[in-house]
Amino acid sequence: DQQVKQNSPSLSVQEGRISILNCDYTNSMFDYFLWYKKYPAEGPTFLISISSIKDKNEDGRFTVFLNKSAKHLSLHIVPSQPGDSAVYFCAASGLTGANNLFFGTGTRLTVIP
Amino acid sequence: NAGVTQTPKFRVLKTGQSMTLLCAQDMNHEYMYWYRQDPGMGLRLIHYSVGEGTTAKGEVPDGYNVSRLKKQNFLLGLESAAPSQTSVYFCASSQGWTDTQYFGPGTRLTVL
């Protein structure tokens, strides 16, 4: 059973506009959330994270929002650039126990020049 | 500084054959992980290691074995490959329990 879900397999946005990628989770024990970015033929690379004690974390053009009551997080990219075109994976873990990341199925973002 | 490397990049096996995937990291990380990625699914943890000489089962360990004889290397073995093990395999490493995991480029394995 998929504990982390990304319901949109793909997203297209115009360059310069905002990209919003969504992620839902089911396990209330998750307390640490991450976004990874993956280019073809490469491994995922860490993008940004947020712990459950926060509801927002910002790093340059990337902001992650966490809504614990809704078990929902989102990644905002502003402004979107063609180089942002990649597959984005949401992941979650509990800080207790193994560093076992549970990944979503990914959203393919295409930024159109 | 190569980060995390995986060998081989591609492999085709026949059902019942065995093989070993090698993961190496040069960041002196304590933790290492093996994931598999299948179409329509997220990455799933197969096995992990919290230090040299230690291994533990992840979410989908059946059909795989691992060894961590040296801190920098983490080996994933398939003793008798099955078509269900056709997948892309990613290795990762991290310094600590909650630290960022750094991934290798992946190994695409096809079992016929």
- What is the C-alpha to C-alpha distance for residues B112 and B105, in angstroms, rounded to an integer? 23
**Which pLDDT does position A65 carry in this prediction?**
98
- Residue whose C-alpha is closest to residue B91's, from B99, B79, B102: B102
Nearest CA in chain B to A34: B100
Q: Quick one: tokens of A51?
A: 């712990």
Provide the pLDDT confidence category of residue B39 given band limits of 50, 70 and 90: confident
Tell me the longest C-alpha to C-alpha distance in chain A. 44
**Which pLDDT does position B104 carry in this prediction?**
96
**B66 CB within 8 Å of a chain A CB:** no
- What is the C-alpha to C-alpha distance for residues A49 and A99, in angstroms, rounded to an integer? 14
**Which pLDDT does position B40 carry in this prediction?**
82
- Residue whose C-alpha is closest to residue B34's, from B94, B82, B74: B74
**Which pLDDT does position A21 carry in this prediction?**
98
Q: Quick one: tokens of B45?
A: 């943890």
Q: Is the pLDDT of residue B63 over 70?
A: yes
**Which pLDDT does position A101 carry in this prediction?**
84
| Burial classification of residue B62, based on how many CB atoms lie within 10 Å of its CB (0-12 exposed, 13-18 middle, 19 or more buried) | exposed
**Which pLDDT does position B3 carry in this prediction?**
93
Q: What integer is the mean pLDDT of B17-46? A: 94
**Which pLDDT does position A95 carry in this prediction?**
60
**Which pLDDT does position B54 carry in this prediction?**
92
**A43 CB within 8 Å of a chain B CB:** yes
**A97 CB within 8 Å of a chain B CB:** no
| Burial classification of residue A43, based on how many CB atoms lie within 10 Å of its CB (0-12 exposed, 13-18 middle, 19 or more buried) | buried
Of residues A89, A91, A99, nearest to B94 (C-beta): A99
Of residues B42, B98, B99, nearest to A89 (C-beta): B42
Q: How many CB pairs under 8 A join A and B?
A: 63
- What is the C-alpha to C-alpha distance for residues B83 and A40, in angstroms, rounded to an integer? 23
**Which pLDDT does position B1 carry in this prediction?**
66
CB contacts, 8 Å: B44 with chain A:
103
**B27 CB within 8 Å of a chain A CB:** no
Provide the pLDDT confidence category of residue B19 given band limits of 50, 70 and 90: very high
SS3 content of chain A, % helix, strand, coil (to 5): 5, 55, 45
Rg (CA), chain B: 13
Q: Looking at A55-69, A91-105, B36-50, B63-77, which range is the least confident one?
A: A91-105
Strands B10-13 and B19-25: unpaired
- pLDDT tens per residue across span B1-17: 679 999 999 999 999 99
**Which pLDDT does position B100 carry in this prediction?**
86
| Tokens 């997203």 found at | A11
Testing the interface with A: which of B27, B101, B107 to mutate, by most A Cβ within 10 A?
B101
**Which pLDDT does position A93 carry in this prediction?**
86
Cis, peptide link before residue A9, omega less than 30° from 0: no
Q: In chain A, which residues have pLDDT < 70?
A: 95-99
